[in-house]
Chain A
Amino acid sequence: MPNNYFNTLPLREQLEQLAKCRFMDISEFPDGVEALKGKKIVVIGCGAQGLAQGMNLRDSGCDVSYTLRAAAIAEKRQSWKSATENGFVVGTYEELIPTADVVLNLTPDKQHTPVVTAVMPLMKQGACLSYSHGFNIVEEGMKIREDLTVIMVAPKCPGSEVRNEYVRGFGVPTLIAVHEDNDPQGEGLALAKAYAVGTGGHKAGVLMSSFIAEVKSDLMGEQTILCGMLQTGSLLCFDKMVEEGIDAGYASKLIQFGWETVTEALKYGGVTNMLDRLSNPAKIKAFDLSEELKLIMRPLYNKHQDDIINGTFSRTMMADWANDDVNLLGWRAETAETAFEKTPAGDVEISEQEYFDNGILMVAMVKAGVELAFETMTAAGIIADSAYYESLHETPLIANTIARKKLYEMNATISDTAEYGCYLYNHACLPLLADFMKDIKTDVIGKGLDLEDTGVDNARLIEVNAALRAHPVEAIGTTLRGHMADMKKIV
């Protein structure tokens, strides 16, 4: 039975690890890829992320090859083809791992335990093992040989973007961490920084965090606001509109593209800006709805965070892994059968502003979800910077996937771990909001407020604006968006 690493730590250290997250300045990367020069990098797995990172590293002057399971090579599977056609040396674990100075484990979470168990005995004395997600170390308690250095380098984008942005001469925001229990030569940070440079991440911004902060905040964000809230919100809003007689095609389109549109405003100017896009009466309405939603949903957010922190979540999910993913596959099929998923977006014109005006409830749901996730994470000891990235910052990225191909695309793009958590949230949240939804009418979802007079009470408006701007997610957001703007494209 695996041993949850986080639970073995004393509280003092748990809090210290959770609080790690710092935005690094580009001036902290003067050595470029030097720390990786002359070292042999072997990548395990050649999916989208593995291929993109390997190509970037090679184009940055690093020596990269791929190792795959013997069966993948013998059967010339897609991963073998991808690596070979791109001119990489491909070999079995036995052939390549013993020659490697740095091993990049870029396989899915689920395979980490068998993969790491298989490669660890083959690794050179004093070599480095790198992850792009800390689940295996933190939740499964994988023990890595003491002489090995363990780091994490996690580009915060899908593989295709990791490659495209590099080719353009830029990169994608990247999180790095060193597993302090496994840094025998004190070279972990230098290696992680060089790796981030090799994939172009330093140009777009690097966050220095810890394995624990990465795992606990990542799990919380993806289950609740990022995927869970958007899935639950999609299903509830669609059913309500159809029930109220709104054309199903219109309802489907308003939701599919509405998340993307309203969260785009979030990306530029936080929750404040998203609500500022509404008329004064609509803003007050959205604010009131979100307050009500927060009250109803707070226990659910707390439960998710508690289950993540104490390991209940990972334990139940791993039990499903062991049970051939019965739950995951069942829930996935169930999502495909929902009315929202099965109704194609109608051929109707919806202007950018109309997504706000007719989607007041969606705006309220995003606000409630972002604020609750942020509040819950920081209350659990996760530093505001991490909490911001794992809630507000990533919401527009996930909303983009829904715009592409609805919930199917979202769940196909995110990891199995995120998908599993998303369904858990959805199953709990749907009944939780049943009563709340009874009072919802088309004025807040589908048609917009029908007012003769758009006047509002001054005192109330001032109160709402002040409350929006005073939320802690807005303060940290303003600072971090400032850093990002400095790094981002000068356009």
Chain B
Amino acid sequence: MNIRLDNLTVNFDDRFQLEEVNWQLDDSQHWVVTGANGSGKSALAAVLASAGENLSGSIDGIPAKVGLVSFEAQAELIEAELKKDDADIMDVIAEGTPVHEILNPGDSNQQLIDELVEKFQLQALVNRAFRKLSTGESRKVMLIRALASEPDLLVLDEPFDGLDAHTLEMLQAYLATLVEMVPMVMVLNRFDEFPDFITHIAYVDNGRLQHRIDRNDTKAYNELYQLLHLKTTDLAVPAADPETAIPKLDPTQPLVKLNSVNITYDGHRIIDSLDWTIERNQHWQLSGPNGSGKTGLLSLITGDHPQCYVNDIFVFGFQRGSGESIWQIKQFIGYVSTALQWEYKVGTGLRNVIISGFYDSIGLYTKATDRQKKIADEWLALLGMSDRADTPFNKLSYGDQRLLLIARAMVKHPPLLILDEPCLGLDDMNRQLVLALIEKICAGSETSVLYVNHHPEDQIKGIENYLALEKREPDNS
């Protein structure tokens, strides 16, 4: 068996579409298909059992006998049984098809069925009508039916869902005995349920097959774990620390108001007479080519640019240059950029890196309170890094560092979160991780996001204001 999907687009009753899938499976491999709810992982598995309508591309090598277990298949069978009932014209009480007939549609190995019935402890139910079974029982029937059909390919969509611990263990052990005989594709979204014999993992997001990972690639495997964790766990963004709460802002004033600002280097004007107001709860995207002054403009807001003192800048209730300190400004801002990551060359442990966000410092120079530690631990849990709380920051992968710095920026729930090209330098997987985290943040808080990028594919939901800078050619002004 060698199944090959080339650029395959499949439509499912106009409800859902799988897009441009490229995938190859051979018979020595056992795959897990995973992804968030609604990502299309079940649809992808079902395609292997010939579900859906191919719109374009091709699929080759599907074997004759595919054993499929899924909620959809189970629901279909139950619906069919109920229809039989309706169609019954005889005036007798219909019992429906007994379980033993469902188990063996005709040519299955009866001896194997009996063995499995015993293993699943269904002996008492074989003569009962299939439609009278509970969901868990009918699931077991589906499993036995698929296994006993001696298929060339076994497709199991969430086979462990709803099974009691004993049955789950038995099934896992049983499947392990089949690895030499039949290739398996399982849809699972809990990493701890992945059986040991799984050799590859497919990750589906938004109807697309995004990643195909060899299980032996530890790095990719761990990153996928984190991504799935962020996408599938229902954790809320941890609360702010009431003891170090940010002062209340006057709700009638904008967060930021730049009045005809300029930035000049060596007589060359990079930013020329720019006006920009960021109101509360507005999300902004700032874009522009390299050298157009994006970062310079941001640092006028954060107070990191020395020319903020020669411009008309109002930020968080302060007219700049009126005796305020940069720490009074920075307390309202969460900030992430590649430059910050380069600056953050410290051996500080991960928990303390997050806590340093309360103090806007690089490194931590103050003793943290217990509550701050607790909040930091909640963030680590959200990121799937709980087991690394004391790992030095500089020992982290580049992508993980970025995630951690976003958590650091958000830990105090700032009114303004500035993300200066947060995906820069990240590979595809880490990019998705970062975007998933940012979406999680945007959805759940009153923070205005100011997002800088120039990749149209890195869109963040909910941004409705745009400022595009243009590069100014050197002039004589």
Q: A-side interface residues toward B, CB under 8 Å?
A: 33, 37-38, 55, 58-63, 85-88, 167-170, 203, 487-491
Contact = CB atoms under 8 A, between A and B. Distances in A.
Contacts of B367: 490
B325 A87 contact: no
Nearest to A62: B323
B37 interface: no
Contact of A63 (B304, B323, B362): B323
Contacts of B324: 61
Interface in B353-386: 356, 359-368
A463 to B, nearest CB: 38
Contact of A59 (B303, B347, B349, B359): B303
B265 A489 contact: no
Contact of A55 (B306, B346, B360, B365): B306
Given A85-B265, A169-B359, A170-B363, A59 B346 contact: no
Contacts of A488: 365
A168 B325 contact: no
- Dominant SS among interface residues on chain B: loop
B323 A203 contact: no
Interface size, B (range): 20 to 34
B274 interface: no
Interface string B290-326: 0000000000000110111110000000000001111
B220 to A, nearest CB: 31
A37 B323 contact: yes
B89 to A, nearest CB: 82
A372 B56 CA distance: 86
Interface string B15-32: 000000000000000000
- Considering residues A38, A55, A61, A63, which has the most beta carbons from chain B within 10 angstroms of its beta carbon? A61
Contacts of A62: 323
Contact of A61 (B307, B323, B365): B323
B323 A58 contact: no
B348 interface: yes
B306 A490 contact: no
Contacts of A87: 306-310
Question: Binding site of A, secondary structure by majority: helix, strand, loop or mixed?
Answer: loop
B352 interface: yes
A38 B323 contact: yes
The 6 closest A-B pairs by CB, nearest first: A169-B361, A86-B306, A168-B362, A61-B325, A87-B310, A59-B326
Interface string B84-106: 00000000000000000000000
A491 B349 contact: yes
B363 A489 contact: yes
A86 B310 CA distance: 9
Interface string B248-267: 00000000000000000110
Contacts of A170: 361, 363, 365
Nearest to B347: A491
A88 B306 CA distance: 9
A86 B359 CA distance: 25
B307 A60 contact: no
A62 B306 CA distance: 14
Contacts of B347: 491
Nearest to B356: A169
Contact of A169 (B307, B310, B323, B360): B360
B222 to A, nearest CB: 25
Nearest to B359: A169
A414 to B, nearest CB: 26
9 contacts: A38-B323, A58-B309, A59-B303, A61-B323, A61-B324, A61-B325, A169-B365, A491-B346, A491-B364
Contacts of A61: 323-325, 328
Interface string B170-181: 000000000000
A62 B309 CA distance: 12
Given A58-B309, A87-B308, A87-B309, A168 B323 contact: no
Interface string B107-118: 000000000000
A203 B365 contact: yes
A60 B327 CA distance: 8
Question: Among the interface residues B266, B308, B365, which one has the most CB atoms of the partner chain A within 10 A?
Answer: B365
Interface centre among B308, B326, B367 (most CB of A within 10 A): B326
Contact of B364 (A55, A59, A63, A489): A489
Contacts of A55: 306
B187 to A, nearest CB: 44
Contacts of A38: 323
Contact of A491 (B310, B348, B366): B348
B160 to A, nearest CB: 44
